[in-house]
Each structure stands twice: as structure tokens, then as C-alpha cells.
Amino acid sequence: MNFKMYHNNITVLDIDRSLKFYEEALGFTEKRRINGEGFVIVFVGNDTTDYQLELTCYTERKEPWNLGDNEIHLGVRTDDIEAAHAHHEKMGCICFENPGMGIYFINDPDGYWTEIVPVR
């Protein structure tokens, strides 16, 4: 029996704001959308992998989600960590840096973290 990672889900408050962030920050574009009664689900990704991020938005919700201690994050690799860092610094979304490990984290409009790791 084999398993392959397919997607992760996060719940967002404003689907348009999140789509804009993930496209600008990571180049993730909309791959598929499901419009339901009271919710919209959008899968985003890029052409480097078939793995996707599922963004779920409950359309009637008005208050931000409580992420608790936010001890979960996504991880992405980049082939140009310096250019990525400069881009994210310009966006103002870097929330934590670990120069000793050569990594840093960005946070999206809902407070979810993504770890940016160089290809090694």
C-alpha cells in the first residue's frame, strides 16, 4: 500500500485576500474551485508539483479564526533563497528568521506560517 501527499487545508476569512497573498508570495494560482452553500473551497498550487493547498472560506464568518499557539506550518523550497527573502521582505510578510539554519517564515493574512527553505 502506497500513499502520496495530495493537499493540506487551511480555513481563511477572506478568499480573495488569501488568493492574492499566495499568488504574490509563492506563485500559487487557483487550480480548482468548489462553490457550496455557505462556503467556497479553492485549491491553489503551481506547476512544480501536484501537491496543493486547499483554502476553505465560510462566507458568513466575520471574525478571524483562533489559531491557538499556531504550532503548525507549511514548508516550501526555493532555488533562490536570497531573491525570495528580498521579495517577502518587500511584501512585509516575514515573521521569523533563523539565519543559522538558513530558513525563514512568512505569515499569510490569517496568521498561518509558511517556512521558506533553500534547495540543498
Please report, for the domain that includes residue 91, its CATH number: 3.10.180.10
Is position 26 within any domain? yes
Q: Which three cell numbers stand for residue 83?
A: 531573491
Domain that holds residue 47: 7-62+72-118
Query: pLDDT band at residue 70, thresholds of 50, 70 and 90?
Result: confident
Is position 28 within any domain? yes
Query: pLDDT band at residue 3, thresholds of 50, 70 and 90?
Result: confident
pLDDT (average), residues 36-57: 96
Is position 93 within any domain? yes
Is position 21 within any domain? yes
Cβ contact 25:68 at 8 Å: no
Q: Which three cell numbers stand for residue 21?
A: 497573498
Domain count, the chain: 1
Is position 2 within any domain? no
Is position 67 within any domain? no
pLDDT (average), residues 53-81: 94
What is the pLDDT, as a whole number, of residue 15?
A: 98
Mind listing the pLDDT tens digit for each residue in 4-22?
889 999 999 999 999 999 9
Q: Cβ–Cβ contacts within 10 Å for residue 108, how many?
A: 20
Cβ contact 57:11 at 8 Å: yes
